[in-house]
Amino acid sequence: MPRLFGTDGVRGVANGDLTPELALQLAAAAAHELLEQRGGDSGRPLAVVGRDTRPSGELLEAAVAAGLLGAGVDVEILGVTPTPAVAHAVTAPGVDLGVMISASHNPMPDNGIKFFAHGGFKLADEKEARIEARLEESWDRPTGAGVGRRHDADAQRRSASYVDHLISSLPTTLSGLKVVVDCANGAASEIGPAAYRAAGAEVVVINDDVTGYRINEGCGATHPEAVARAVRAAGADVGLAHDGDADRCVAVDADGRIVDGDEILAVLAIGMKERGQLTGDTVVATVMSNLGFKKAMAEHGIAVADTAVGDRYVLERMRTDGYRLGGEQSGHVILLDHATTGDGVLTGLHLLARMAETGRPLDALAQVMARLPQVLVNVRVADKDAAMATLSELSERAGSELGDDGRVLVRPSGTEPLIRVMVEAPTEEQARTVAETLAAAVS
């Protein structure tokens, strides 16, 4: 049986390969793992469950709740809420487990389940493996008073607490800034605009349909052209685009130019260094971050610690080495002083705060980084190991020819039969030529 957990929980087509039966089993297995770790002398544990707006979220929410309740865990349903709000809820005393039902930036038919341990961090690989191993185990079901109870009364209070937490992290108000917020028809549709308004910004909201049928569809962080159009139409200072579960943020400046996660990370890193908040003058980023980002950081005396692709690996490096800021080109940014996971609304708030405290527009702040043209080609292969062996020497030679003016990164997909070939070069034409030449060697 292939491993269920990927880099960000369990995902699949809702009611297809991700069935309510599997969701119930996963929740029950997570409950068994939790109960075993806690022992039997500390009362009944409490789990919080959130979801994005996908219609299938209601189905999977019911199944997850049933699995937890049937295993003797109390459940609090948070309803539609961002992934980082679930992570924040698990930092509260008395909350032992968080479950988020979302497929993030994936299309509407997909859905997913991810777990957060007490303290707000995603489960380690070994704990996910133990949960998988428990899926088929037999267990004694509690009866009577041993069955879990459902508590929903505190959901609104937790939502308000999360917004208060976001606002309290800011060094300044956002008064005087006009921002367009693209909620991706997802989990940020209510909390996102509420947080930006509470911080003092004038907010124009687009794509806040909470029916879930159009989540991520032509909008949000994966389609920032939508917020770019809205910013120009509204004459706004800036636009912010989130994804379906609001753990990403991509921005656009007043002219509609896209400012991605690398550029946002660069702006925040420089601000944190100026305030003496950037531990070790180091920022954590993945190997996919643009070479222009690394050059910009070097010019400002900031080191870049590389990780594998995936925000969980960014966070792992941050926690291991004590770094406070990290992120991905896709818009996952982790501000570890204020969050335990990527938080799109928190990122947007701090980007706006940097504009407010410097008095500079986003285009001027983002000019700190000169982006190199980047071309990514996905090559479908029958044997990833053989393809990687074929490309090893070729990619090394291509990288040597580019020298300090570019780079080549070839890596296998972790979930699909693909080899990903990424090339950065002084011109897009040069980058595309090198990428297509490498792809042709194994296609």
- The CATH class for the domain spanning 10-155 reads alpha beta
Q: For the chain, which residues score pLDDT lower than 50?
A: 1
Query: What architecture is domain 169-366?
Result: 3-Layer(aba) Sandwich (3.40)
pLDDT digits 0-9 by tens, 223-279: 999 999 999 999 999 999 999 999 999 999 999 999 999 999 999 999 999 999 999
For 166, what's the count of Cα atoms within 13 Å in the CB-facing half-sphere? 35
Closest by Cα among 74, 95, 71 to 85: 95
CATH architecture of 374-442: 2-Layer Sandwich (3.30)
Domains 10-155 and 374-442 share a fold: no
In DSSP terms, 285 is beta-bridged to 306, 327
State the pLDDT at residue 153.
63
Residues noted as catalytic? 104
pLDDT in the model for residue 415: 64
In the chain, where the domains are located: 10-155, 169-366, 374-442
Which residues 6+ apart lie within 8 Å of 184 measured at CB?
105, 207, 215, 216, 219, 220, 221, 241, 242, 243, 244, 246
Question: Which pLDDT score is estimated for 41?
Answer: 61
Full-prediction pTM beyond 0.85?
yes
**Per-residue pLDDT reduced to its tens digit, 119-178:** 999 998 899 999 999 998 888 899 999 999 998 867 788 889 999 999 999 999 999 999
Distance in angstroms between the alpha carbons of the first and the last residue of the chain: 28
Output helix, strand, coil percentages for the chain, rounded to the nearest 5: 40, 20, 40
Work out the angle at residue 422's Cα, subtended by the Cα atoms of residues 370 and 380, and round it to the nearest 5 degrees: 155
